[in-house]
Structure 1
Amino acid sequence: MQGYNVLMIYNQTMDKLLMCKRLKNPYKGLSNLVGGKIEDGEAGLDAAYRELKEETNISKEDLTLHHLMDFTYYLQDCYVEVYVGRLERDVPVSGDENILYLSDLNHDFFDMSFYAGEGNIGHMIEQVNLAKGKLFPEAKVN
């Protein structure tokens, strides 16, 4: 079963979420979260930090990732690990795989004509909102 990760990266005040506009399929032209494949034998958390660095230039020193949830797709023979982190400082974000941007959170992330993931992004954001105090007790968040 192939593993993937999805990374929910919030700014310091947690009022913006790092997104990318996909330049290739699947979901070409739609906004998505960053992430990628988990290599054979690679721990999920290690893969998450590796993908984050490769795709955004954000490093382990810039935030702590928390394992939020998993999705298992038995008929597609794959699973997705979802990680969330809050930047500890302003970090210049750069990457050439997709167009990166910080999104306000006042959008309809369930809108499948704009966002990838069949509504999963909206669901994941709601889960972070429910667990914000546990995930980031030290943060001054909205």
Structure 2
Amino acid sequence: MLKYTICFIRRGNELLLLNRMKAPNMGLWNGVGGKIEPFEQPMDGIIREIQEETGLSVQQVQEAGIVKWISSESESGMYLYYCELPIDTVYATPIEKDEGILAWKSIDWVLDHENEGVVDNMKYFLPYLLRGDFDNQHTFTYDENGIVNYECRTLTTKKLSSNNA
């Protein structure tokens, strides 16, 4: 089981992002999420994290795959989730929370190739998520300079091949 969760909350052409106050990714915009508590299921963990970090009470989010990262020092990952709010949802930002500053950001701004204010791996997997392609494992290999390799693999194929082995 992975240790972390992350959710991207969408309202129309905007994403609710958090500019983190603490490491990792301090000062960068990212989805909301965090560590899974002992004996907590990932889905319960992300619903709790959304409530804690945004104050929003969502009942259901969409499982959207897995993000893993590998470096010479460690290997870890997170369960990826997606939540779409009705376009008329009122949630005024910016809001300062303990974890950082929440704000709605346009999808075009988030994905702009010159935008260095978002977490570096987000631009790779976010397009999959935004088009509803939820059944993937996104694996990133890092060295001291950043991402050196990215691989996207369909989880269904992996599950089918492991069942047939």
What's the TM-score bracket when you normalise by the shorter of the two chains? Answer: 0.7 to 0.9
Structure-1 residue corresponding to 2:100: 98
Residue 15 of structure 2 aligns with an amino acid whose one-letter code is L
Aligned mates of 2:27, 2:70 — CA distance in 1: 27
Q: Share of identical aligned residues, percent?
A: 25
Structure 2 runs not aligned, ≥5 long: 134-165
TM-score relative to the length of structure 2: 0.66
In structure 2, do the counterparts of structure 1 residues 19 and 70 end up closer, same or farther at CA, with 3 Å as the change threshold?
A: same
8 Å CA contact 2:18–2:30 kept in 1: the answer is yes
CA contact (8 A) 1:71 1:80 kept: yes
**Residue 66 (structure 2) aligns with:** 70
Give, as a single letter, the amino acid of the residue that structure 1 aligns with 2:5. Answer: N
Q: CA deviation at 1:41?
A: 1.3
Aligned amino acid, residue 71 of structure 1: V
User: CA offset at residue 112 of structure 1?
Assistant: 6.8
In 2, distance between residues paired with 1:103 and 1:3?
27
Q: CA deviation at 1:79?
A: 2.1
Q: Whose Rg is larger?
A: 2
Amino acid at match of 2:132: A
CA contact (8 A) 2:109 2:115 kept: no
Match of 1:25 in 2: 23
| Structure 1 Cα separation of the partners of residues 29 and 104 of structure 2 | 11
Match of 1:122 in 2: 123
Question: 1: CA distance between counterparts of 2:17 and 2:129?
Answer: 16
With a CA cutoff of 8 Å and minimum separation of 6, indicate the structure with the bigger relative contact order: 1
CA contact (8 A) 2:7 2:31 kept: yes
Q: Which amino acid letter does the alignment assign opposite residue 86 of structure 1?
A: E
Within a 5 Å distance, the mapping from 1:55-66 to structure 2 comes to 55-61=53-59, 64-66=60-62
Structure 1 unaligned blocks of 5 or more: 133-142
CA contact (8 A) 1:65 1:85 kept: yes
Relative distance call for 1:130 and 1:60 in structure 2 (3 A) is closer
C-alpha distance after superposition, 1:92-127 (max 9, x if no partner): 5653321000001112535573112x3x21223211
Quote the Cα distance in structure 2 between the aligned partners of 1:23 and 1:78.
21
Closer, same or farther in 2 for the Cα pair 1:73/1:10, shift >3 Å? same
Count, aligned residues: 126
Distance (whole Å) between structure 2 residues aligned to residue 101 and residue 125 of structure 1: 17
Is the alpha carbon distance of 1:130 and 1:2 closer, same or farther for their aligned partners in structure 2, counting shifts above 3 Å?
closer
- Cα RMSD (Å): 2.3
